[in-house]
């Protein structure tokens, strides 16, 4: 494979970086939905949120590889937006959704108006391949019961893709029987119909597809977050002086920042390989699992080094390092399946 981005992917990365650099204001309080809606809508207006949609739905007909490029830039900027809706919602719906589901939700996601996420984690079972959430047939409908954890952007979600024992369903998080506490979603006899079920051409296909997109999206976002933390720390040790010399000139500091660089490059190449295989229709395993293993094992340790090299400044909430740390910590837990 070629690890170099093609012209289209470079344009996506460049445009995303330009918009994020112009629009992000960490002093601006989040909107009513808990994220920076101004930034998210700016990305939608530029067409970036819809690059993977087919032309008939107003998109560019691209795919996972291009979405991954955008997710990496969102991670690099630690953007306060519901980034994972692209991998947890848009891509699976485009692949698995019925014509009505796609027509209703995909254009709204691409415009930055709707947030669709997925509940792929259960207690002590991240990215579970065997969901314990039950779906019981009841007179032409299904009743869903179970607990989902670490659901990204749950408070802002328009719909949630919920894997169950009978397939994957689109659930309204405001429906009767749904209880939300932070990123945990409890379902107690939530009623859905056949119209809410995504297409499952073969038994287990919908869940397998959803898990693959979710893991690939988390890796792309985490890859960017780790690269952003590395850039921030490299700049700091190059400018901060101790005993009249920049920190970067001390051998111990140089060795530690080199460790972070190696971790970042390893995660990047592993994620890129897995995403390329998935985007090109090849079997993404074991590459996806290897990339998830490396990220879960190495990224948190690399962020700990970044904190150490920043000293007390690294734990100051007015300094941006904590945003990368929080993002990497959450993603590392969810990729360690």
Measured distance CA(71)–CA(78) in Å, rounded: 10
Residue 266, C-beta contacts closer than 8 angstroms, at least 6 positions apart: 294, 298
User: Judging by DSSP bridges, how do beta strands 134-138 and 241-242 pair with one another?
Assistant: unpaired
Tokens matching residue 196: 């809410």
CATH, range 205-335: 1.20.140.10
Calculate ∠ Cα 95-77-34, nearest 5°.
Answer: 70
Asked if the peptide bond before residue 45 counts as cis, ω within 30 degrees of 0, the response is no
CATH assignment of 118-196, among 2.40.110.10, 3.60.21.10, 2.40.100.10, 2.40.50.90: 2.40.110.10
pLDDT of residue 219: 97
pLDDT of residue 204: 86
Of 221, 308, 317, 295, the closest CA to residue 257 belongs to 308
Phi and psi at 203, nearest 5°, equal -55, 125
Of 177, 164, 127, 172, the closest CA to residue 149 belongs to 127
pLDDT of residue 305: 96
Contact between 227 and 76 under an 8 Å Cβ cutoff? The reply is yes
Measured distance CA(55)–CA(300) in Å, rounded: 40
pLDDT of residue 187: 98
Contact between 119 and 157 under an 8 Å Cβ cutoff? The reply is no
**DSSP 8-state symbol, 122:** B
Top CATH class of 7-115 equals mainly alpha
Question: pLDDT tens string for the chain (337 positions)?
Answer: 667 889 999 999 999 999 999 999 998 998 889 999 999 999 999 999 999 999 998 889 999 999 999 999 999 999 999 999 999 999 999 999 999 999 999 999 999 999 999 999 999 999 999 999 999 999 889 999 999 999 999 999 999 999 999 999 999 999 999 999 999 999 999 999 999 999 887 888 999 999 999 999 999 999 999 999 999 999 999 988 788 888 888 999 999 999 999 999 999 999 999 999 999 999 999 999 999 999 999 999 999 999 999 988 877 888 999 999 999 999 998 887 6
Residue 50, C-beta contacts closer than 8 angstroms, at least 6 positions apart: 44, 57, 58, 59, 60, 106, 107, 109, 110, 111
pLDDT of residue 1: 65
Please give the sequence-ordered ranges of beta strands (E in DSSP) within the chain, or none if there are none.
116-118, 134-138, 141-148, 159-164, 167-171, 178-181, 184-193, 241-242, 245-246
pLDDT of residue 337: 62
Q: Where are the domains of the chain?
A: 7-115, 118-196, 205-335
Phi and psi at 130, nearest 5°, equal -135, 75
Of 141, 137, 129, 152, the closest CA to residue 205 belongs to 129
What's the whole-model pTM score? 0.95
**247-266 residue pLDDT tens:** 888 999 999 999 999 999 99
**DSSP 8-state symbol, 175:** S
Contact between 324 and 78 under an 8 Å Cβ cutoff? The reply is yes
Measured distance CA(330)–CA(337) in Å, rounded: 13
Contact between 284 and 270 under an 8 Å Cβ cutoff? The reply is no
HSE toward the beta carbon, residue 275, CA cutoff 13 A = 29
Q: Which three-class secondary structure state does DSSP give residue 226?
A: helix
Measured distance CA(112)–CA(42) in Å, rounded: 8
């Amino acid at each position: 494979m070629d690890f170099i981005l093609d012209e289209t992917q470079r344009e996506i990365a460049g445009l995303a970086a330009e918009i994020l650099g112009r629009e992000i204001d960490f002093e601006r309080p989040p909107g009513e939905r808990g994220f920076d809606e101004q930034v998210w809508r700016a990305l939608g207006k530029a067409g970036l949120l819809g690059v993977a949609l087919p032309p008939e739905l107003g998109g560019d007909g691209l795919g996972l590889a291009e979405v991954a490029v955008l997710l990496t830039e969102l991670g690099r900027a630690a953007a306060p937006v519901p980034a994972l809706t692209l991998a947890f919602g848009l891509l699976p719906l485009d692949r698995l959704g019925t014509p009505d589901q796609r027509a209703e939700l995909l254009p709204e996601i691409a415009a930055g108006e709707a947030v669709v996420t997925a509940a792929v984690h259960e207690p002590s079972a991240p990215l579970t391949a065997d969901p314990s959430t039950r779906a019981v047939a009841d007179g032409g409908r299904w009743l869903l019961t179970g607990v989902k954890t670490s659901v990204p952007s749950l408070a802002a979600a328009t719909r949630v893709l919920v894997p169950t024992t009978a397939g994957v369903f689109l659930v309204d998080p405001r429906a009767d029987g749904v209880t939300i506490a932070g990123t945990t979603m409890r379902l107690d006899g939530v009623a859905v119909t056949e119209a809410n079920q995504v297409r499952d051409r073969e038994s287990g296909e919908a869940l397998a597809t959803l898990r693959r997109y979710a893991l690939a999206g988390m890796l792309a976002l985490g890859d960017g977050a780790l690269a952003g933390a590395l850039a921030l720390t490299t700049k700091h040790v190059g400018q901060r002086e101790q005993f009249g010399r920049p920190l970067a000139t001390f051998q111990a500091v140089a060795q530690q920042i080199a460790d972070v660089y190696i971790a970042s490059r390893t995660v990047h190449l592993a994620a890129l390989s897995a995403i390329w295989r998935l985007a090109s229709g090849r079997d993404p395993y074991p590459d996806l699992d290897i990339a998830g293993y490396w990220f879960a094992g190495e990224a948190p340790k690399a962020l700990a080094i970044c904190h150490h090299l920043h000293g007390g400044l690294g734990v100051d909430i007015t300094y941006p390092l904590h945003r990368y740390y929080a993002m990497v910590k959450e993603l590392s837990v969810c990729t360690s399946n």
